[in-house]
Amino acid sequence: MFGWKVAPGVVAVTAAALAVSASAWPCAAAPSLRDMIFGKEKADDRRAPTPKVARYVAEDGSRFILDRSTGLTLLKFDDSSEIWVLFPSRGPRNDLIFRNDVQQTVLRVTSLGGTTLYFRARSGGAPVAVMGQASQLRLQAFSAQALLQRLAQASVRASRSAGRLIVFDAPDVTSGSEAVYADAAALAAEAVASIAQRKTGRKAMQKIERVQLVQNGKVDAAMRGRTLVVSLNPKKGVAGRPSSHRIMAAAATVR
């Protein structure tokens, strides 16, 4: 077990990118997300079977990958490195609604075949269509040294956004947990940067002196004094850290 405390000035590295790729569908008519969730109604349906991992495009131009290959529902937009963990629940008319960890509706899939993207879309949502197959969404592997550099990078970004020093502290990193820690550090820095851009964000940021990443079996974020504590459960992989929005919600509680 080991830990680090990192502040600006330590060597920073270029942000890691999640490796995703896509390939074209065969000539058969494209399937829908509805097929994957509800199944096909007709035995003679000639559409290609929907893969567990596919790329989608919304009417407003948003493009994303949806990965249901591991028992989790993961979503990543093409213009962001964050992987969102979605939680399904049944809605009116047996619709399936996917929400993130702060209960924001991300996708809605109807039993009749309609799929709508709400997250980052206009208030009424944007219809979604499948584009083709894609690769699984995974966290990039990190060595201990690479994690140290990622913590330094996160500290630099958060400090610049807040206009003051914010130290990133990871006191209980264990072997094999580096990828989850690295991703959580990047998301925490993103959360701080997003809050700092708000009209009232600067005041909140003045009261945050430290971001501490800890393992305690939970997945959460909370303020403890002047420390933003991000709780991780590396055994859950990508689902073992809170989203940037959950971290933002915690940081925004600062008075």
Q: For the residues of 97-127, what is the DSSP string, one character each?
A: EEE-TT--EEEEE-TTS-EEE-TTS-TT-EE
Parallel, antiparallel, or unpaired: how do β-strands 227-232 and 210-215 relate?
parallel
CA distance between the termini of the chain: 34
pLDDT at residue 50 in the model: 64
In 3D space, the residue among 223, 224, 222, 220 whose CA is nearest the CA of residue 239 turns out to be 220
Q: Is the pLDDT of residue 39 over 60?
A: no
Q: What is the mean pLDDT of residues 167-193?
A: 96
Q: Where are the domains of the chain?
A: 2-16+140-251, 22-134
C-alpha 232/C-alpha 227 separation (Å) is: 15
pLDDT at residue 7 in the model: 46
Parallel, antiparallel, or unpaired: how do β-strands 126-134 and 115-117 relate?
antiparallel
pLDDT at residue 26 in the model: 35
Q: Is the pLDDT of residue 103 over 80?
A: yes
Q: What is the pLDDT of residues 116-158, one digit of tens each?
A: 999 988 778 999 999 999 999 999 999 999 999 999 999 999 9
Rounded to 5 degrees, φ, ψ at 10 are -75, 150
Q: What is the pLDDT of residues 17-38, one digit of tens each?
A: 323 333 333 333 345 565 555 4
Decide: 62 and 75 in contact? Cβ < 8 Å. Answer: no
Q: What is the pLDDT of residues 77-97, one digit of tens each?
A: 999 999 999 999 998 888 999
